[in-house]
Structure 1
Amino acid sequence: MPLYVDMGSMIHLTLGRIELDWGKNSGFTDHSALFRPGDLTTIPYYYAGDSDDPECAHLPLIQRWENFSYRLITEMKEGYSAPLGVVARRLLLLGYTDAYCREDFEWHADDGCLSHDFSFDELKAILASADFSAAQLSPEKGADDLASFLSTYVLPRYGTDAPKRLRQAGGDGGEVDGLGAYSVIRLLANNPTAQNLPITWQFADVADGGWAPRATFEAPLRQSSRFLIVTEGSSDAQILKHGLRLLYPDLADFFDFVDMQENYPFSGTGNLYNFVRGLISIKIQNNIVVVFDNDNEGVFNWERCARLNAPPNMRIVKLPDLNRFKSYRTVGPSGEHLGDINGKAAAIECYLDAGPDPQVRWTSYDHRRDRYQGVVVGKEALQRAFLDQRSVDPNYDYTGLEAILAMLIAECVSITEAEAMAVLEAERIDGYANNAPKTTPE
């Protein structure tokens, strides 16, 4: 819960009442990518009033340090607010994985930049198990920084085993060295006491002060943070897009799909293979995931694409194999049998809820892979039943679709994690260069 006094227009990123980041006037970090458009709302802003002002006598009195107290003035203004659990998932797609957090922390440790000597794993364990319920937005508690909060509310429960060097780390600036705001959020992602704490971005004073256009805080995700999903046909794209809206609404704005109207330009796996070759040849800069079906034709072209020299910002995948597809009812010239449809007939409709007795019909023989191609019976009806859903149906089986979306998100995270690691490495090299001893020519 940051406090605003007469020191210019302030902007803060907070976790409950814990300040994670702050800026002033035009000097601030843009955190808009952490939030969805619907997260823009009215949130409380807190200001320090004169503790002796009789007009403020009805307001909470906060005692800070020995010789400083103030009355807490609360104003409701525009800002962003979302639960930590949602923001933590969005950070993954921005490349802030646990591996990135570790690398960033240990880089500072290797450089001797830390004022403490506890390890990343020690801190990770503390943040994962700590009780953050005391971090709820509560006016009478005043404001805290992370190090002070841990020292006051978390470390005492460790008794004599408390890592005192962490307590010392909050002496002046109050930050835990080597641990940025995004790392804090990511390391709390699995802490049940922190999941629903609000992450707030209080930008109104900076916007109202004219230090940045309001559009800065309402802009959609930058293209560099988005992912273009390319599929074999329009129905695949429609199903994936709708699935993201239903099951991952907090992440759906990260994904773009090519035109899904009648003139869908990449219908058919052969055309998609050629399209991938074209993207590679022009060195496309967008983050792209190409998705093939898990049927005979799709696997054939996925294997062809896998031999191409795809750039780091592109992933080429097929729909995942599922155990339930290993014994699937099939019908063909030789009658009905239970068969494995992985890699033969598992188009995207098979991953939808096909009812208690789904069936695949074998349609044609592919000499290239020495196997039949199949299609699920009633696939158009399966598509309609899913696309007509306006909200999650508790009686619908989403497990197949969830497997696809989990794979898709994991591939996207791998792209941005690599990009974030590359930036970190460049900063490290630049830091070494700037700190290298100067030599004088002889």
Structure 2
Amino acid sequence: MIYLTLGRVQLDWGKNGRFQNHSALFRPGDLTDIPYFYAADADDPESADLPLIRHSDNFSYRLITEMKQGYSAPLRTVARRLLLLGHTDDYCRAEFKALTEIGYANHDFGFDDLKALMSSANVGAANFRPDLGSENFDRFFAEHVVAGTEAQARLQSHSQDDGEISGLSAYTIIRLLADNPTAQELPVTWQFADVADGGWAPSESFEAAVRQPNRFLIVTEGTSDVQIIKHAIELLAPDLTDFFDFVDMRENYPFSGTGSLYNFVRGLISIRIQNNVVVIFDNDAEGVFNWERSARLNRLENMRIVKLPDRSAFENFRTIGPTGEQRADINGKAAAIECYLDAGPEPVVRWTSYDQKRDCYQGVIEGKEEIARQFLGHKKLEPGYDYSGLEHILTMLISECVRISEAEAKATLEAEHPDG
């Protein structure tokens, strides 16, 4: 048997060679020893000191616990990774609607009702029960989510088995609990050792790796942009690093300069590239010009073309130009990626050239190489460093990636439930 669990709640299971591969939910570092549970005869004298589980009036067994390799990560991390796999709240709503319309759901809850229940229930106690090896989601839902609420009677009146809400996928259950503060640290575990040891699947199939269709190729104007964004993900979103690929910038970076990037975008569209791609232009005069003309192209569904986001902090920025020093809005004129780093208490942009295409000056922040060098030297988050600009970039980037995956996931769902 192979199980995906939340605490001891079974979310998904398989047997022998028939199971869903959940490796993308985890990072390689999530591989560890986790508890596996087995049943021994209740009358076995060698197991007499083990917990006795009464399954029914006619059947009891002893609970054996063994530690074996498997994956384990807190629900908060898994729920965030699910977004990049396309399993968003909107997807969950669509799945719920499809199941309801085909008559699979045996309850009268709306999606918002269910989300409110799952978000507010005190489910921390469901982590480990000393008298239980595992439990199914229906029992978990009845005992830890609706017990003692007005919804309990509604659930039981529609159910054949003391209250169940069958049909929801494991990923939708995790996403419904994503905002519940009592669920954040519950372990999501994947117990695959028995299937691997039994030879039902090669061991490498359980390596935590995001498949290429779920990865995102990030393309920028130059090497510094790639280096900074990649390092920002490593520091600020380390649980998501394996979702992203970057154009190799170690030697002969091929897309230096915005004009080259525009032509590259045209090339990707012409060959209908199958990878998920996010193209990021700078938020300066030249970058905005090429972003605007790239955005007019008939881009692919698996592609997003964006520029670095505007920031209110850039609206009153110290600048130096032919007429001297003044405060100015550098959004769309001089906000290259180094401006999103901590540039000290009084950063300054120097206007360098007039951009006739956009009727504005192009500028560059002074000391940009040193500003980038300092950030790239961070081995961990540094106290006192202002990461807000980078957080703004990553929020935009991740949001665009989620939109790509969500559209693909919804298309698959619609194909599976054409009448839903």
**TM-score between both structures, scaled by the size of structure 2:** 0.97
**Residue type of the partner of 1:346?**
A
2:414 paired residue number: 425
1:376 paired residue number: 365
Identity %: 66
Equivalent pair of 1:147/1:167 in contact (CA under 8 Å): no
2:75 paired residue number: 84
Distance 1:398-1:266 versus aligned 2 partners, 3 A rule: same
Say if 2:41 is the partner of 1:72: no
Match of 1:363, SS state, is strand
2:189 paired residue number: 200
2:354 paired residue number: 365
2:114 is aligned, of 123, 127, 138, to 123
- Separation (CA, whole Å) in 2 of partners of 1:170 and 1:18: 20
Match of 1:112, SS state, is coil
Say if 2:313 is the partner of 1:355: no
1:440 paired residue number: none
Distance 1:175-1:231 versus aligned 2 partners, 3 A rule: farther
Say if 2:223 is the partner of 1:234: yes
- Separation (CA, whole Å) in 2 of partners of 1:316 and 1:410: 13
Residue-by-residue CA offset, 1:188-229 (whole Å, 9 max, x unaligned): 111000000000000000000000000000152111010000
Residue-by-residue CA offset, 1:53-104 (whole Å, 9 max, x unaligned): 1111111112223222211101110100000000000000000000000001
**Equivalences for residues 168-187 of structure 1 within 5 A:** 171=160, 176-187=165-176
Deviation at 1:35, TM superposition (A): 0.4
Deviation at 1:144, TM superposition (A): 1.4
1:46 paired residue number: 37
- Separation (CA, whole Å) in 2 of partners of 1:57 and 1:197: 30
Distance 1:338-1:392 versus aligned 2 partners, 3 A rule: same
1:385 is aligned, of 374, 382, 401, to 374
Equivalent pair of 1:11/1:203 in contact (CA under 8 Å): yes
Residue-by-residue CA offset, 1:136-162 (whole Å, 9 max, x unaligned): 12332332112211212332321xx23
Unaligned runs of at least 5 residues, structure 1: 1-9, 433-442
- Separation (CA, whole Å) in 2 of partners of 1:406 and 1:140: 43
2:303 is aligned, of 293, 298, 314, to 314
- Separation (CA, whole Å) in 2 of partners of 1:262 and 1:24: 47
Match of 2:346, SS state, is coil
1:403 paired residue number: 392
Deviation at 1:281, TM superposition (A): 0.3
- Separation (CA, whole Å) in 2 of partners of 1:164 and 1:20: 24
Deviation at 1:114, TM superposition (A): 1.9
Deviation at 1:121, TM superposition (A): 1.4
Residue-by-residue CA offset, 1:228-267 (whole Å, 9 max, x unaligned): 0000001000000000000000001000000111410100
Deviation at 1:303, TM superposition (A): 0.3
1:149 paired residue number: 140
1:3 paired residue number: none
**Residue type of the partner of 2:141?**
L
1:301 paired residue number: 290
Equivalent pair of 2:142/2:164 in contact (CA under 8 Å): no
Say if 2:212 is the partner of 1:223: yes
Equivalent pair of 1:148/1:170 in contact (CA under 8 Å): no
Deviation at 1:385, TM superposition (A): 0.6
- Separation (CA, whole Å) in 2 of partners of 1:47 and 1:360: 66
Say if 2:84 is the partner of 1:93: yes
- Separation (CA, whole Å) in 2 of partners of 1:180 and 1:156: 22
**Residue type of the partner of 1:98?**
D
- Separation (CA, whole Å) in 2 of partners of 1:386 and 1:373: 24
Indicate the larger mover: 110-119 or 355-364: 110-119
- Separation (CA, whole Å) in 2 of partners of 1:276 and 1:408: 17
1:285 paired residue number: 274
Distance 1:169-1:141 versus aligned 2 partners, 3 A rule: farther
User: How many correspondences in the alignment?
Assistant: 420
- Separation (CA, whole Å) in 1 of partners of 2:306 and 2:86: 20
- Separation (CA, whole Å) in 2 of partners of 1:70 and 1:168: 32
Unaligned runs of at least 5 residues, structure 2: none
Deviation at 1:163, TM superposition (A): 3.4
- Separation (CA, whole Å) in 2 of partners of 1:208 and 1:36: 21
Residue-by-residue CA offset, 1:364-405 (whole Å, 9 max, x unaligned): 001111110000010001101100000011211000000000
Deviation at 1:287, TM superposition (A): 0.1
1:23 paired residue number: 14
2:244 is aligned, of 251, 255, 264, to 255
Distance 1:362-1:184 versus aligned 2 partners, 3 A rule: same
- Separation (CA, whole Å) in 2 of partners of 1:122 and 1:371: 52
